[in-house]
Amino acid sequence: MDHQRRAKIVCTIGPASCTSQQLDQLMDAGMDVARLNFSHGTHEDHRLAIEAIRAVSERRRKAIAILGDLCGPKIRLGKLGTPSRVIPVGAVVELFSGTQTDDERLPVRYATLETDVKPGDHIHIDDARVRLRVENVQDKSVFCVVEEAGQIRDNVGVHLPSGELQISALTEKDKQDLMFCLSNGVDYIAVSFVRSPDDVRFVRDICEAWGAVLPIVSKIETPQAIERLEEIVRVSDAVMVARGDLGVEFPPEHVPVLQRKVIAEAARFRRPVIVATEMLQSMVKSSRPTRAEASDVAHAIFDGADATMLSQESASGDHPALAVSMMARIVHTAENSPYYARRSIAPAQSPVAFGDAMAKVAVQAAHDVGAKVIAVFTQSGDSARLVSMERPSMPIVAFSPSEGIRRRLGLNWGITARVMLAVRDTDEMVEQVQRRLLSEGFVQPGDRIVVVFGAPVSVKGRTNSIRVHTVGP
């Protein structure tokens, strides 16, 4: 029974979605990956969220990956002293370098603010929802005129277009947050504002020194990342099209083209890609998306995204579960339309790597024999991920003895992950796969399945065998 949506849904967890009851609702609605945004909340908040996610996941027997999203060297407002503030057009506002304020001034978490801007510069706040023009700089204050009004709140992003940031790729806060993630069993690390492959290597070195090999998601949101896209994708485990800051760094009309460029490059290197930011933004308050938002989600699916992401919609919106459910429906409808093409993209390297070749042969065999399912026995997850990148028309069910691997596969297109303990030989493995697929309604007696595995089955990293099997009674 082909009963699954292929592209996955990443949900940001926040005040509107962190309790067990709320997480239950998100899982019912279609959440596959839970994102913790370290731009907001305390370590205690995130620790409680992790405990709740793991508890609900275990009770429901659904593997949910947790993505820890580091802030990166993004400049942000400090604490305003009020929950939010509306600044009107024409008002003059005073910015200063600091972490909090008790008056009307706006604190900016950037030590050299007054030296890095000049009169005439534009400063964008909260993904350009608010735009300021610098009038003058006096002592340690920057005075600006509001050109586009809006509501601001604590910790939203501030974009300074006047030059390079004078801070490292991984801030001290990022290092503390990374240590927290490594200590609390997070499944993926997302690195913000990646500008070079060295940024990714730096984070990987820290993880390895800690004794953890965590997959790294590189967020593509700077001009430097676009310029060095191939190098960055090559050293990453996954990428994210972070359209909020892309839309500030580039004219809005360029963002859809850049989105498609990143998705295509990720496919060449067999890396999963997440499309993020403002996908269903109106559902922060509304119970329905706009038609344009529905089209935006569908076009991300048509472009080949592995996952789409909800940010404020699920973290602090009025309808978190409804937003997830709506995204799931849009994705499912797009995937089942006649306009959805599963394009095969040639790998970046030639000759083709052994794993890529095995995945391609498995998918071709499954199509040739009319298989109902491709079953992959995997200890590292790599074989299942490579099969996913071939975009087969039938479900992929990955069996692994590792709970961590099953969780990580929650990000990959088309994969349903299931537990299978270590087996002694191939025949026992195929028998267990058949029994599980029958019990869950994926197949019926007489159906064909393609099984991908390594021989001997107990050796990691040895995927070298494909078997076409007819399901018995």
Catalytic amino acids?
35, 76, 219, 277
Nearest of 179, 180, 182, 104 to residue 144 by alpha carbon? 104
CB 377 within 8 A of CB 399: yes
Q: State the amino acid at position 158 in one-letter form.
A: V
Instruction: State how far the alpha carbon of 108 is from the alpha carbons of 38, 76, 113, 157, 270, in Å.
Output: 17, 6, 8, 9, 39
What is the strand order of the sheet 463-470 is part of? 415-419, 396-400, 373-377, 448-454, 463-470
Backbone angles phi, psi at 393, to 5 degrees: -80, -15
Q: Are strands 84-87 and 150-153 parallel, antiparallel or unpaired?
A: antiparallel
For the chain, first and last CA: distance in Å?
16
Q: Which residues sit opposite 159 in a β-bridge?
A: 124
Ramachandran quadrant class, 213 (left: phi over 0; alpha: psi -120 to 50; beta: rest): beta
Distance of alpha carbon 30 from alpha carbon 185, whole angstroms: 22
Q: Is 198 exposed, middle or buried (0-12, 13-18, 19+ CB in 10 A)?
A: middle
